[in-house]
Structures are given as C-alpha cells and as structure tokens.
Structure 1
Amino acid sequence: MELRPIAPFEPIRSDTIPQGEEWVAQVKWDGVRMLTYSDGREVKLINRKGNDRTPQYPEFQDTGVYCRAGSVILDGEMIALSGGKPSFHEIMRRDSLRREQEIRFASGRIPAIYMIFDILYHDGKWVNGEPLRNRQQLLQELVIPSERVQVVPNVTDGELLFGLMQERGWEGIVSKRLDSAYAIGGKDGRWVKKKLARDLYAAIGGVTYRDGGVNAILLGLYDPEGRFIYIGHAGSGKWKVSDWRDLTENVKPLIVSDRPFANAPERMKGVVWIQPTLTVKIQFLEWTPGGTMRHPIIQGWANVPPEACDMGQSM
C-alpha cells in the first residue's frame, strides 16, 4: 500500500449554527469515522485513530464496486441502523469483531452503510487543497450510490436540519464552508458541529453488582498530569443482557484492591475497583458543577485504548 494513513480533518464544537451562502450543513452520523485508501492494487479501511479496520468490513474492500477511480482516498462514516436511525451500539458490534467467521456472519446480520462526505486523493493527485464544493462535485461524479454506499447530501438551512435531527433524536449536524480546503490533521472553525448531547470515550475504573452480575460502571478520564479522574457512573444505555453478562466475566481478572481514581467517587458502597483498561462511549446532557456527567447513557463498547480517554478529547 503506497498511500499512508493521515489524520482526518475534524470539526470544532459550537453552540451556534453558521449561516450564509458559503455554509452548508450535513447530518452528523452516530457511527465510526472511516477513511478508504485504494492505490489501485490494495484497499485499506482505516478509522479516525489510524487503526486498520479492513477485515471488519469485507463488503467495502472492492472500491471498484462503488467508486469510479483507479486510486482514491475517501472520507466518511461507517454506520448501522437500529429502529430506523443510526446506532453507535450496532456499528460497534461490527467494528469490534476479530474472527473471520464472526465477521462473515455479521456482515449479513448487521448491514453497514458507508456515508461518504469527502475525497482527498484521486487518480494519483491530492485534491485536499481544492475547495469543498469542488471535492463534493468530484464525489458526485465518482461514487456509485447503493443501499450500502451513499454520498452525504448538503442542506443549505442548518437550523432546519438541526430541528429535524431534534425531532428524530439523531446526533446532530456538521456545518462546513464550501470554500474550505481539507486540512489534514487539522481542526478549526471552517467545519463546526452542533450536537444534541455531549459524548466522550471513558475508561471503567470500578463496577457494582446486583444478583451476582455487574449492574453499573464507574467511569474516568485522564487529566493532563496523567491522573485518572472520576467523572460519574452509568447503569443504563444500549447494552443488552448479554453485554452485561460479558462485562461481568471480563472484569474478573482486572479486579484490584486500590482505588484507581485520583479523586473519591460520589458512590463508594459496594464498589469493586478494576484496572481501567475497558473503554466505552458515553452520551450525557452536560457537566455538573462538581465535574461529573449529568444523565450519562452507555452507547456501547469503544475500540480505543485507555490513554485516549483524556479530558482533552472532543467528539
């Protein structure tokens, strides 16, 4: 593979929605950021953290089926639906698989959809310096839409789109300037996101039990000094009975006698401390004055290392 993975351009968080003829809005999908690299001989699918996810999505390994290009780098979101809307929990059921037989079985049972919103490289030429409007026009010419592959459409009225996302209970929107270049490894105000709720990756530092099984998790983030800071506990979300059963087994070898958190959690009674190696994605409404999450909800397992669960993250 001649093409080397890059760090994707990231939007910044905003409480306002930009207006004007240079701005368009797109749905913010509750999925996994995925870049496709094809040099004409080999294809790789790489996530936002630079991890290879090619084996997890065999149906997207032949780019000729959905893109008219000899070589290309595409940027988008891999999603899966549940109840008619994108579900992070569902796509993580695909993304977390490692065994070939399980992946083959899941590809039919949990259909993944690739929502493509940008192109960085085309037939031997970098196009990331071109304005977004030009890159989007190139996508329209190259991508072959299907049930599994779509080009993310623009909406000129961001307020209208955000209102629709509120009605549907989806994640939010991303607003982008049509004259913006794609800044590899960048993050600035040419792309901004407004979300219905906050979310982050957190590591599990403790659990509580009911009737012999784990029923709640205590969560933490690492601060700039490397201290593991308690940010709240969660016992509700999209996990099924089988997920809680798996967690009960997974924590057994991780149990430790000392509290891993630098600060004392609000709830200590009945807590069993564990090494903070397991990570999850959490959605919550806001931060409390005490620095904990208000109404946290477990979205699913997160395939990120514990050190990625830091206070500087912005999803």
Structure 2
Amino acid sequence: MKLEDIPRLSLGFLPTPIEKLERLSTDLGISLSVKRDDFTGFGGGGNKVRKLEYLMADAVAQGVKVLITTGGHQSNHARMTAAAARKFGMKPILVLRGNRPDMYQGNLLLDHLFGAEIDFLDPDAYFTEINPRMAHHAAEAEARGEKAYIIPLGGASALGAMGYVNAVKELAEQYAAAGTATPDYIVAPVGSGGTLAGLHVGCAMFMPKTEVIGIAVTGSAVPFSERIAVMANAAAELLDYDRRWTADEIRIENDYIGPGYSIPSEAGNAAIKLAGNKEGVLLDPVYTGKAFAGIMGCVKAGSIAKGSSVLFIHCGGSPALYPFAGLLTSDLKEDQAG
C-alpha cells in the first residue's frame, strides 16, 4: 500500500517550518536547525498530532465512541488524544502513571479542560496494571454498547508511525523547494519509539543520506533499538516497502535520561535555559530538553561530527514547563540568597 493510500484525517497545521538556529550553530560548531513540530497546533500542538491523523482515521472508520490511551502525568500524547476524541465526538479515557495530584497543572490541566476521564495508576504498579486497566475500560464501554478503541502508549504502532514517514516526505519536499541538501542527522527524543520508527522508514524512502539518532528520555524493559526495529519493519510491511531493520541499525543514545522518565535532569534543564536565552525557543523537561542536551553531548563526544548539519525534531511539550516552575527558577533563589 502506498503512503497516500493509507486513510488519514487532517488535524495538524502542516507543513511545519524548518528554523535555522544561527547562534547555537555557532556555539556548537554544527549547522543546527529545528523542525517546528511544536507548531502543529491541534490540541496544543506537538509531534503526536501526526500519529493521530492516521490513528483517528482508523477509529472514526470503526465508529468508535470511547477512546482510551495512556501516558505519564505530563503526557503530550494523552493530552492530544483527549482533544482528538472530542473533535470526533468520542469520550476520552486516560490511564496515567502517577497518583492523583493536589493540583492539576500543565498537560493535566488541559486533559481536564478537554473533559477526559482520568484514571491514575500508582507508578510502581503501572507497568503490570496498565494493559489490564485499559482493557477493563474498553470492556465497560462495550458492555454499554459503545465501541472502544485503545491507542498504545505514545501512539507507538505501525499505523501511528505513518505520521513520521509522512513527516520525512514533507521534509524532503521542503529541502527540495529550498534547493538545499538534506541534513546529515535527524535527532529526536525517544519515549515510546513510534516517532523514531517512522523517521527510519521515512528517511530510507525519501532522505537516504540522513542518519537518524534517538535520544532516550526514559528506560525500557525491552531495549528501544529492538522495539523500534520491530515497529519500523511492521511499518515498512504496511507500505509494501522491502527495507527491514535490525536492532543494531537503530542508534539510541541512553546517557541523557537523568533520574527517570518525566523527572527533569540537570543537563536537560541547562539545555532549556540555553535554548531560551540563545534562540527564544521553548523546550520542556520531559522530552525536548533532554534530547537537546543529547545533541550537545554527542557533539562534545564527537559522535555528531563538528561541521555537520543536524535537524532537531521539536516534538512540543511546553505545557510540561509549568509544573516544574519551582525547579526551573531555583537560580532566582540562589541569586536572592547571594
């Protein structure tokens, strides 16, 4: 099946622009640009909109009434899934990792404003209970006569990966229209793996000279390289594309996770402040801050060569800044104490 033959509903404000980061390019010694997928717009914007264009087409075609997904407290995917559910007249149910907070901030606030039913799972029990809990919500909906549809964590599936196969096609067209070469590297955060799977398939099809690098922002029981290879192969099969990947062909940098998923890291926080001060670009503590720290670390280590061209996929997430305001303004307290 060709990419254009796979059903898709338009949700994002596409194509998103490519922005050259001149000052940071000079500082880092690379040609650094950013694909502004924080500007996709729908539901507050972010990379998950591209996946939802394909997943929602499938859900709508099936007559779904209840849309169920999962993520962390500050999940961009959960927030945008809730928005997509409401756009198409569905009820969103979000099963989130973390205990019920005293105050809803950031993405949790937006989940509430989209009218999502939120089921909080104890973080220690999350990985054993998440699938049975989502299945329970689906069974309850079906018992009421309402068709349910479960979207996996991060929209990470072969169908969801089509969003970033299409994004690379969009990129290739943008570079061709500008008369510029495609980048040496594309770098993106890795939380569930669907974006990176789509980037691998898309680059093989449309930008074969570009290397894909994933910066892990969380750990995984199954190594990301293995999970992403399986997903990329399933996506390629869906497209009748004959390329297949092995785990050792999937480059993942694992040194920038920090204390854990959705827990800010010192390097990520420094990257947030640097991007804001140098370029007026907002990053977040969960995904893009850590991934941007990964770019800087790879350049310093020499695994991204000086003088190379690098495109960073900005996957959005600025609502997650606000719950961490105290941490991100700790320097103000230090100044006051001094």
With the length of structure 1 as denominator, give the TM-score of the two structures.
0.26
Q: Which has the higher strand share?
A: 1
Q: Which has the higher helix share?
A: 2
